[in-house]
A and B are shown apart, each in its own frame.
Chain A
């Protein structure tokens, strides 16, 4: 069954551009704050991954669910996560989505179809598979999409999820963001395969490789897989090839990444590529780029100020909400 992709229109393209720019602006600010010692905890940046983060997430419909991993804050923006929510959570404030109980990007909101990740990866592969099972049992045309990196595909639950989703023909789109390193470990030390997507063949499901820095390709291929899943066609494993342009976390200077490698991928920057595309389409010009810079800079500044002025939780909140009463 081949589903014809739905080409994104001008509105969709502009939306996606905004989310990529907002994501990068938030992360640049987080990096500054982290280096200035202003954050209580860690940062996990997805710089360089904006195309797949936004493209995959934007391909979902309302009612679908997304299970991002620790690095995937940017994927949450198209589903309604705000800059304020990113900063209040990083700043561990009482009014954050986790009320100071979960770190960094570990927030979620089921009303917006966003799962709150944990550090063990890919724990949300089975969880999203279970969400898809619930959709199927209730006859709902909804799709679940977990994200993980190539590193997590070595784990057993990655394979258990693909296998069971295949056996039960569940509406899941498994997205692997192959960003070149599992912390410091390159893929050749983790697997003999050159494409993670080849793992799909073991489970008799489609395996798709996309250019993770090309947002149009990311969006169209994910959309195809999403609609296929929605129509009862079962799961897909989709691998987006990209490079994580920062270390694993804020403290990691990533000396294991060669200058040449980083330079090579800087040339493929997903935002600059998309800007060229939009300019060629007549949807963007120099003024438009500048205006967007102004818009996201202001949004980030406002959100940061809001977080800094927000109160911390009271100490005794440490013991609330352990159980649903």
Chain B
């Protein structure tokens, strides 16, 4: 078979670039703010070529002033623009915390004014990048009413959910996983598509137990499910895709089917997204359960640098297998 006929595969990072490019082309009110996003094309080359195409009025390079330009995005959004802020690493979003949680998140509640803005950046570990370039900040923001929080785990969703985020009239935080950038590829639909914010997706069907996960852990869960299948355990994987709002219905339907649930998340354990989903299942799906809800997560520690430390920190396929084995005994 000739490779020329093979449909073109798109990487996760290309999917993100495509979504930004297409939305910038589609809507003149969309523009970008961020550090090194112009000539340099962004620290991860997400916006390579954007400056030439869209010009310095829409690809606006910023000094190192995250609180300043995140606040500026709020102001521009209130004036009817649709700003997209790139934080160079998602970790740096902490510098703009006040603007996000106090100004953006609470504006519509108080004044009914829309704040259509997106803040996106590379999150997550696995790249030996240490405590300040590896964090998973989604839990911080999922706890703030007024924000929507997206963590895509597949190439398809990376594109479709970013487009949805840009079109949404609320402040949306979009945490792309940098480990996935060039590691996963998919053939995307040729026609335009937009995903629905707040809808989980069953990424693999199974009958014996459910893994609820999101982000890069979707890939870990898929690998663990393959292994478990070999030993006769059929695993269903629910990818939350948006960690706020959480799609309770898809989670509960899956647990009703399998009666067993594992929460798999790369964020630290206490009060993480998986802790919240556990509570939802315990509260609303208690009678479905045949065993305890098990959390497989990072421990309550900063993300360490040294490879053996980071590998211990980030949930691995074997950690998931151990949890599957434990739960299968019930």
Contacts and interface: CB of A to CB of B under 8 A. Distances in A.
A135 B146 CA distance: 26
B interface, how many residues as a size bin?
35 or more
Contacts of B113: 108, 110
A167 B98 CA distance: 23
A189 interface: no
A106 interface: yes
A110 B77 CA distance: 12
Interface of A: 65, 97-98, 101-102, 106-110, 115-116, 118-120, 123-135, 137, 144, 156-157, 160-161, 163-164, 167-168, 321-324
A126 B57 contact: no
B58 to A, nearest CB: 8
B72 A322 contact: no
B50 interface: no
B81 A137 contact: yes
Contacts of A109: 111
A123 B81 contact: no
A81 to B, nearest CB: 13
Interface stretch (B59-67, B154-162, B319-327): B59-67
Contact of A321 (B63, B79, B102, B109): B109
A110 B69 contact: no
A132 B79 CA distance: 9
Contacts of B81: 134, 137
A99 to B, nearest CB: 8
Given A156-B67, A321-B109, A322-B108, A134 B102 contact: no
Given A130-B76, A144-B75, A164-B62, 15 more contacts: A108-B113, A116-B110, A118-B103, A118-B106, A123-B98, A123-B103, A127-B74, A130-B73, A131-B78, A131-B79, A134-B76, A135-B79, A156-B68, A163-B63, A323-B170
A123 B145 contact: no
Contacts of A157: 67-68, 71, 98-99
Interface in B99-126: 99, 102-103, 106-115
Contacts of A164: 62-63, 65, 68-69, 72
27 contacts: A97-B111, A98-B111, A101-B110, A102-B110, A102-B111, A107-B111, A108-B110, A120-B98, A124-B75, A124-B103, A125-B71, A126-B71, A127-B103, A129-B68, A130-B69, A130-B83, A133-B76, A160-B65, A163-B63, A164-B62, A164-B63, A321-B109, A322-B109, A322-B145, A323-B108, A324-B114, A324-B169
Given A106-B110, A116-B111, A322-B108, A129 B79 contact: no
B212 to A, nearest CB: 23
Nearest to A323: B170
A129 B71 contact: yes
B181 interface: no
B90 interface: no
Contacts of B75: 124, 126-134, 144
Contacts of A323: 108, 146, 148, 170
Nearest to A139: B57
Contacts of B170: 323-324
A156 B169 CA distance: 28
Nearest to A135: B79
Interface of B: 31, 57-58, 60, 62-63, 65, 67-81, 83, 98-99, 102-103, 106-115, 145-146, 148, 169-170
Nearest to A106: B110
A273 B58 CA distance: 49
Given A110-B78, A120-B98, A131-B76, A137 B109 contact: no
Contact of B31 (A65, A107, A115, A137): A137
Contacts of A110: 78, 111, 113
Contact of B68 (A101, A137, A160): A160
A44 to B, nearest CB: 17
Contacts of B110: 98, 101-102, 106, 108, 116
B36 to A, nearest CB: 15
Contacts of B80: 134
B226 to A, nearest CB: 38
A267 B162 CA distance: 60
Contacts of B148: 323
A127 B77 CA distance: 9
B72 A133 contact: yes
B71 to A, nearest CB: 3
Nearest to B31: A137
B184 to A, nearest CB: 31
Nearest to A108: B111
A127 B71 contact: yes
Contact of A324 (B60, B106, B108): B108
Contacts of B115: 324
Contacts of B74: 126-127, 130
A116 B69 CA distance: 19
A321 B106 CA distance: 10
Contacts of B99: 123, 126-127, 157
